[in-house]
Structure 1
Amino acid sequence: MKIEYEIVKPDKGSSFRLLHHKMVRESDFVWQFHYHPEYEIVFVPQGSGTRHVGNHLSTYHQGDLVLIGSNLPHSGFGLNSSGLHEEMVLQVKPEFIPLHFAEMNQVESLLDRARYGISFYGTTRDHVGDIMAAMVHQPPFQRMIRLLEILEKLAGSEEYTILNSSIVSPALLSKHKARLQKVFSYVEKEYAGEVQVQKAAALVGLSVPSFCNFFKKTTQITFSDFVNQYRIQKSCMLLHQDKSISEICFECGFNNVTYFNRLFKQIMNETPSAFKKKIGSLGEVA
């Protein structure tokens, strides 16, 4: 797992970027965190996958719509997707959005909430998804009008869920990137076995108490919770394969199936068997 700063360049003749991807899920999809100053709106028309925004980790089924705030770290939404994956992504620089107008008060409140990541559902997701799909085929000026329409619809919607309770600081992530990368690489290499906080602390030249404080302050999550999230993320990938729940449990570094099931449900809001069943049925449809 890596944390990367992404440089976003607007489309030619436009003040923002619109991406449209269609791909078949690859089993070796890289779990890569990235961040950028631009606000990002991600629409997945259909299918399933994992949303990883800030420290929030959960699955989506039959499509998704998420607003990601400026500099909020996140992974690509193709993670753990099944079959054909399609997504549309709008990336907009903060200075492009005219918040100084009185008419934008609701939008300003929306963007303030976006710092935590927001998932939209229901008719809001459907309406905004239709607008984004139409934007793919429109010229720059029409896209700009549509973008303002999207912001207005999201700002007035009550069909949403806030994804994080606290904010991951990109400034701290950047400042301590080298240290964190050593820790992440260690967990990535050893997650199937015994991950020891003493070894992680030694890698960055800190005592265990100092390391635990440093990691929690920088990432807004404890080291043990991070390891558990990483293992659960790996288990999601393996659940696409023809393996039993117990096999996956032990391959991901857990030594108790009951605990694995309980932790998986706590993090992903469904059991491993329910997750496996859903991705299987969606794969058949695809």
Structure 2
Amino acid sequence: MNAVELHLPQDFTKSFVVFREKGAFFPAPWHYHEHYELVLVKKSTGRRMVGDHIGYFDEGDLVFMGSMLPHVWVNDPEYFEGEADQEADALVIHFTKDFLGEGTMKMPEMEKLKKVLKLSQRGMAIKGKARAEIDRLMTEMPEMPGLLRMSNLFAVFQELAHAEEVEILASPAFVQNYESLASDRFKSIMEYIMQNFDQKITLEQVSGVANMSVTAFSNYFKDQFRMTFVEYLNSVRIGQVCVLMSETDKNISEIAYNCGFNNLANFNRQFKKHKGMTPRQYRKKLEAGL
């Protein structure tokens, strides 16, 4: 499934857009657009994909994303099946890099904001005190008149620029390759991995998606990522294992199988290679709050 480039509607009476996304579920597909985007989930749970990062969201989840970064929020099954006890609900802000005009971003007061905008190219999950304050500011904005709404946006920028608890989402390799190559072939490969990492993926399958021979694909992938396809796939799977270990009480073996590892010995070996400790040691650190 290819990422869709969305051309977002522009309200020419406003320099930026803030709106509420509310309904049975969040409808947008795996997509990207030129706008910077801030997403605050008020109600709902599910899985979000930002670049090559997969994580789970629930109420209060706050993510800031840069221009052209592919992403999607997928609600849990009960929302699609009409069995959730509440509607999905999120607040969203969209703005373009030049919405304040070229001269504004050259002002010295904007230096910290420019650094945040650069980091947002990988996606940023905002947590802690900054998340709580941005939640308050965004919740007020839809009903505000123009100048007050703009004032709250600058207050949001202030919180983003000084946030101490931030998780950077997509890998540098993903962003660098996605931006520099911007090719249908590369996008197809990455989207296939992100949609199927929890299943068995063979070199024959993914090279077919790229419309390349296995040898050509292997060389192409290693040239772009400085690692083999299997090494990259394992890194994506281990990343998802860590998310599930931190957010669920499922046993480690079940998590490993759910993330595409069908051999526990290989899983344990790969986990220690990537994290420098065993899965059990990692979970004990999580439980100890380390």
Question: What TM-score, normalized to structure 1?
Answer: 0.69
After TM superposition, give the deviation of residue 200 of structure 1 in Å: 3.0
| Stretch deviating more after TM superposition (85-94 or 8-17) | 8-17
- Which among 63, 67, 72 is matched to residue 66 of structure 1? 63
The reply on whether 1:119 has 2:119 as its aligned counterpart is no
Q: Tell me how far apart the structure 2 counterparts of residues 186 and 71 of structure 1 sit (CA, whole Å).
A: 19
Q: Does the CA contact (< 8 Å) of 2:52 and 2:194 recur in 1? A: no
Amino acid at match of 1:90: I
Q: Does the CA contact (< 8 Å) of 1:46 and 1:64 recur in 2? A: no
Q: Tell me how far apart the structure 1 counterparts of residues 166 and 193 of structure 2 sit (CA, whole Å).
A: 36
After TM superposition, give the deviation of residue 187 of structure 1 in Å: 9.1
Question: What TM-score, normalized to structure 2?
Answer: 0.68
Q: 1:257-276, aligned counterparts within 5 Å?
A: none
Give the corresponding residue for 1:130: 136
Q: Does the CA contact (< 8 Å) of 2:46 and 2:73 recur in 1? A: no
Q: Does the CA contact (< 8 Å) of 2:197 and 2:233 recur in 1? A: no
Q: Secondary structure at the match of 2:71?
A: coil
Aligned length: 258
| Stretch deviating more after TM superposition (246-255 or 127-136) | 246-255
Amino acid at match of 2:19: L
Identity of aligned residues (%): 28
Q: 1:35-54, aligned counterparts within 5 Å?
A: 35-54=32-51
The reply on whether 1:161 has 2:167 as its aligned counterpart is yes
Residue-by-residue CA offset, 1:168-205 (whole Å, 9 max, x unaligned)? 54445642x1575488569969975x532124324544
After TM superposition, give the deviation of residue 64 of structure 1 in Å: 1.0
Root mean square deviation, CA, Å: 4.4
Q: Tell me how far apart the structure 2 counterparts of residues 18 and 173 of structure 1 sit (CA, whole Å).
A: 31
Q: How has the CA–CA distance of structure 1 residues 190 and 75 changed in structure 2, closer, same or farther, with 3 Å as cutoff?
A: closer
Give the corresponding residue for 2:248: none
After TM superposition, give the deviation of residue 76 of structure 1 in Å: 2.5
After TM superposition, give the deviation of residue 212 of structure 1 in Å: 2.8
Q: How has the CA–CA distance of structure 1 residues 138 and 122 changed in structure 2, closer, same or farther, with 3 Å as cutoff?
A: same
After TM superposition, give the deviation of residue 91 of structure 1 in Å: 1.0
Q: Does the CA contact (< 8 Å) of 2:62 and 2:126 recur in 1? A: yes
Residue-by-residue CA offset, 1:132-178 (whole Å, 9 max, x unaligned)? 11111123333222211111121122122222340254445642x15
Q: Tell me how far apart the structure 1 counterparts of residues 105 and 193 of structure 2 sit (CA, whole Å).
A: 43
| Stretch deviating more after TM superposition (214-223 or 98-107) | 214-223
Q: Secondary structure at the match of 1:136?
A: helix
Residue-by-residue CA offset, 1:54-73 (whole Å, 9 max, x unaligned)? 11112234421111112222
The reply on whether 1:96 has 2:99 as its aligned counterpart is yes
Q: How has the CA–CA distance of structure 1 residues 114 and 80 changed in structure 2, closer, same or farther, with 3 Å as cutoff?
A: farther
Q: Tell me how far apart the structure 2 counterparts of residues 189 and 119 of structure 1 sit (CA, whole Å).
A: 23
Q: Secondary structure at the match of 2:111?
A: helix
Residue-by-residue CA offset, 1:211-245 (whole Å, 9 max, x unaligned)? 13434666898644459959x98xx9xxxxxxxx9
Runs of 5+ consecutive residues of structure 1 not aligned to the other structure: 237-244, 275-286
Q: Tell me how far apart the structure 1 counterparts of residues 191 and 115 of structure 2 sit (CA, whole Å).
A: 34
Runs of 5+ consecutive residues of structure 2 not aligned to the other structure: 244-251, 284-290
- Which among 33, 36, 51 is matched to residue 30 of structure 2? 33
After TM superposition, give the deviation of residue 102 of structure 1 in Å: 1.7
Q: Does the CA contact (< 8 Å) of 2:22 and 2:89 recur in 1? A: yes
Q: Does the CA contact (< 8 Å) of 2:4 and 2:30 recur in 1? A: yes
Q: Does the CA contact (< 8 Å) of 1:124 and 1:157 recur in 2? A: yes
Q: Secondary structure at the match of 1:45?
A: strand
